[in-house]
Amino acid sequence: MSLNRLTIEAFRNIDSAQLLPGTGLNLIYGQNGSGKTSILEAIYFLGMGRSFRSHLSQRVIQTDAGMLTVFAALSQDNGDGKIGFRRYRNGDTEVKIDGCKVRRLSVLAETLPIQVITPESFSLLFEGPKSRRQFIDWGAFHAEPHFYQAWVNTRRILKQRNQLLRDGADYQNIQFWDRELVRYAEQVTEIRKAYVDSLNELLKGIIGEFLPQVSVKVSFTRGWDSKTDLAQLLEDQYQRDLSMGHTVSGPHKADLRLRVGILPAQDALSRGQLKLLVCALRIAQGKLLKQQTDKNSIYLVDDLPSELDADHRRLLLKQLTDTGAQIFVTAIEPTAIVDSLHQAPSRVFHVEHGRVTQVE
């Protein structure tokens, strides 16, 4: 899976750009504010239908423009494809895959799996469990076709249950929903757990290479005590849930625990080490996807050189290129990447004031 043509229009400071990326590593360089991150963001839109920076996707539309467009021609194992994404200022979105309109954004993710690593990726470790849960669920979604429906059902029932709690419903009225909730929660949890187990197999080797001097342990927590039966727990915690107005324990509290010894990783590692750990997680996730579905992810690595010394840059670039996937990396100075690569990049693009040119 790779993009062989990318067109971006009215996207942040990019008026109009066309890139012909190579199948391997694509280097995008330019000064601060030139538009490097915006190019990665545009590719991310194609796979996720939203930005990795702003929660308000409309802000991404170029000032004074009515809509943004991102279009890509893909080469896949099963032939060539096309993805088009358009977002209007009023929020309307048009997505087309091979010329056909698509309604669910999850279809985009299936067509174009994307791994993004940005200086803000630390949020995967620092912020609350939500971003770590999203990380697990991305993998579970791709690994197991039943996951999505079970996850949608779990969310729907939890929402209903929480509404009943706020309405002060007695337990008999809630119990009916709990039976359903437990059924889907168990499916979701089983898939998540199996996913983290498989991920750990791959992760060990990569972490061992990136951080040989520390022992990082990655484990899954389901969102309630693993020795307790969820149905029983929901019943036992009814009074507490009622007073809180929401369901305190359950699959919506699942998490990925990252520990060094007894400490949480974010307290035990330096910033560069944390960046490498996040990279290891993303690379392992991409590799596992390839094993499980034979699909290659597209890697977007923003400001790759920052916070890494030359040796670790080399290690990271080697791990990335060894995946065989298409990679887009940005840097201010091209030498910071080129000097750390074993072979020349597939393509090099220079960005200046939103204009993109390919450098020979």
Give the residues lining the site for ligand ATP (CB under 6 A): 12-13, 30, 32-38, 59-63, 332
Instruction: Restricting to residues 141-160, name those near Mg ion by CB under 5 A.
Output: none
* 287: partner contacted, choices Mg ion, ligand ATP, none (Cβ within 5-8 A by kind): none
CB of 185 to ligand ATP, least distance (A): 40
Residue number, 53 or 193, with CB nearest to Mg ion: 53
100: buried, middle or exposed (CB in 10 Å: 19+, 13-18, 0-12)?
Answer: exposed
Cα–Cα distance for residue pair 143/128, rounded to 1 Å: 24
Nearest to 83 by CA among 190, 94, 166, 41: 94
296 binds Mg ion (CB under 5 A): no
* 312: partner contacted, choices Mg ion, ligand ATP, none (Cβ within 5-8 A by kind): none
118 binds Mg ion (CB under 5 A): no
Cα–Cα distance for residue pair 231/353, rounded to 1 Å: 58
Q: Which residue from 37, 62, 249, 326 is in contact with Mg ion, where contact means CB under 5 A? A: 37
* 347: partner contacted, choices ligand ATP, Mg ion, none (Cβ within 5-8 A by kind): none
34 binds Mg ion (CB under 5 A): no
CB of 96 to ligand ATP, least distance (A): 23
Residue number, 164 or 300, with CB nearest to ligand ATP: 300
Q: How many CA atoms lie within 13 A of 177 on its CB side?
A: 22
* 63: partner contacted, choices ligand ATP, Mg ion, none (Cβ within 5-8 A by kind): ligand ATP
* 30: partner contacted, choices Mg ion, ligand ATP, none (Cβ within 5-8 A by kind): ligand ATP
111 binds Mg ion (CB under 5 A): no
Residue number, 52 or 177, with CB nearest to ligand ATP: 52
* 249: partner contacted, choices Mg ion, ligand ATP, none (Cβ within 5-8 A by kind): none
Residue number, 249 or 330, with CB nearest to Mg ion: 330
121 binds Mg ion (CB under 5 A): no
Residue number, 28 or 185, with CB nearest to Mg ion: 28
CB of 61 to ligand ATP, least distance (A): 6
128: buried, middle or exposed (CB in 10 Å: 19+, 13-18, 0-12)?
Answer: exposed
- For residue 191, give Cα distances in angstroms to 17, 186, 297, 327, 337: 41, 9, 20, 28, 38
Residue number, 44 or 210, with CB nearest to ligand ATP: 44
249 binds Mg ion (CB under 5 A): no
* 73: partner contacted, choices ligand ATP, Mg ion, none (Cβ within 5-8 A by kind): none
Cα–Cα distance for residue pair 13/61, rounded to 1 Å: 9
Interface residues toward Mg ion, by CB under 5 A: 37
